[in-house]
Amino acid sequence: MRVLFAGGGTGGHLYPGLAIARAIVCLDPRVRPHFVGALRGVERDVLPQTEFPHDLLDLHPLYRQRPWENWKTVRGAVGAWRRIGRLAAAERPRLVVGTGGYASGLALAYARLRGVPYVLQEQNSHAGLTTRFFAPGSRAVYLGFPEAAAGLRKGSRTEFVDSGNPIEPPPRDASQPAARAAARERWGFPERDGRVLLVFGGSQGARALNEAMSAWVGRGLPEGLRVIWATGRGNFERFGHLEGERVRVRPYLSPIAEAYAASDLALARAGAMGTAELCAWGLPQILVPLPTAAADHQTKNADALAAAGAAIVVEQAELTAERLDSVVRGLLGDSAALGRMAERARARARPNAAEDIARHALKLIGA
């Protein structure tokens, strides 16, 4: 039986779909996921490397700032609609799973008009435009942040499921001291002394975080603090020379689980999937939301985690080496507060979200 997955444009919309698809296949090998994405999105590079059949379509977002370019959106939609129609004619999907972004809208519209059941997975605490529009007709909305429900309308058959975001869960022994010590040794750090700060800004890095870290390393880190710092591939040449006895600088962390396992706290953006992983690993978070994110959703993510006691929010405009030094020293000097933040992060975690979503979706289609 075919289940159509629609979403992409960015990794934050594509990777949740891949996690759900793999969980569904593990639970019921009869299901054959098929992905629909955009030629201009990250899925162009990612999907050909996966095990799933897929179609990359000439999909475009709405050009709000350049409305005269929306002819591309209309032209692409016409061709994409025909291709989705041919896919459905060859084998009618039992379910459409929309994971957000402009790459999902057309397949969801087709499902609604043709009476194909569909579900949505919303990653952020403030639901995106696609989720808000299609939620009333969906069978379920799987919420990465329970706070997102406040901005959504329910239909007569819609269920809101506080599932969390689908990520790869940490190993069962991840919180054990022996596992932490072994991970630190792999990074060349003392197994038990001091603390380790993980710094990352997404696959491309974050200029604001990199600049603040560079200045902070230059002025001197707190005693006993070690750092694992991912600059982003495009920034490594500029900051790689700051590698030292207490600082490990990498262009990209893959697999990032090696860094999570060695760390005690993190400095990061407030993207939905990154914060979901940090919570699953029980890491206290210093979050610097990207101020240009759509609908300022990263600030809303960060505020939700701060209200839960799992994070401290530092606005990008306030991010300096001095502010960073003050916040980190405050946490390092208060082990009880750091421990509370770790527990609050674990309380927000949903490490089995992919499997939980997959089970729920399979029930909807009677599989």
Asked if 153 and 202 sit in the same domain, the reply is no
Asked if 7 and 155 sit in the same domain, the reply is yes
Predicted confidence band of residue 343 (pLDDT cuts 50, 70, 90): very high
Q: Are 123 and 272 in contact (CB under 8 A)?
A: yes
Asked if 342 and 358 sit in the same domain, the reply is no
Asked if 279 and 184 sit in the same domain, the reply is yes
pLDDT tens sequence across 252-283:
887 899 999 999 999 999 999 999 999 999 99
Whether pLDDT at 234 is above 90: no
Residue 18: per-residue pLDDT: 95
Domain of residue 140: give its range. Answer: 2-167+352-364
pLDDT tens sequence across 11-55:
889 999 999 999 999 999 999 999 999 888 888 889 999 999 999
Q: b/e map of 247-280 (b: 16 or more CB within 10 Å)?
A: bbbbbebeebbebbbbbbbbbbbbbbbbbbbbbb
Asked if 134 and 194 sit in the same domain, the reply is no
Does residue 172 lie in a domain region? no
What distance separates the 2 farthest-apart alpha carbons in the chain? Answer: 65
Predicted confidence band of residue 203 (pLDDT cuts 50, 70, 90): low
Residue 159: per-residue pLDDT: 97
Does residue 313 lie in a domain region? yes
Asked if 86 and 194 sit in the same domain, the reply is no
Asked if 292 and 150 sit in the same domain, the reply is no
What amino acid is encoded at 198 in this protein? L
Does residue 194 lie in a domain region? yes
Asked if 135 and 209 sit in the same domain, the reply is no
Does residue 199 lie in a domain region? yes
Does residue 130 lie in a domain region? yes
Asked if 154 and 188 sit in the same domain, the reply is no
The number of folded domains in the chain is 2
Asked if 134 and 14 sit in the same domain, the reply is yes
Dihedral sign (CA 329, 330, 333, 337): negative
Strands 95-98 and 2-6: parallel
Q: What is the CATH number of the domain that holds 96?
A: 3.40.50.2000
Whether pLDDT at 202 is above 80: no
Q: Residue 10 is encoded by which pair of tokens?
A: 């960015």
pLDDT > 70 in the chain, percent: 99
Asked if 125 and 204 sit in the same domain, the reply is no
Asked if 237 and 360 sit in the same domain, the reply is no
Average pLDDT over residues 92-116: 94
Query: What is the edge-to-edge ordering of all strands in the sheet holding 95-98?
Result: 54-57, 32-38, 2-6, 95-98, 118-122, 140-143, 159-161
pTM of the model: 0.88
Closest CA to 279 of 144, 120, 126: 144
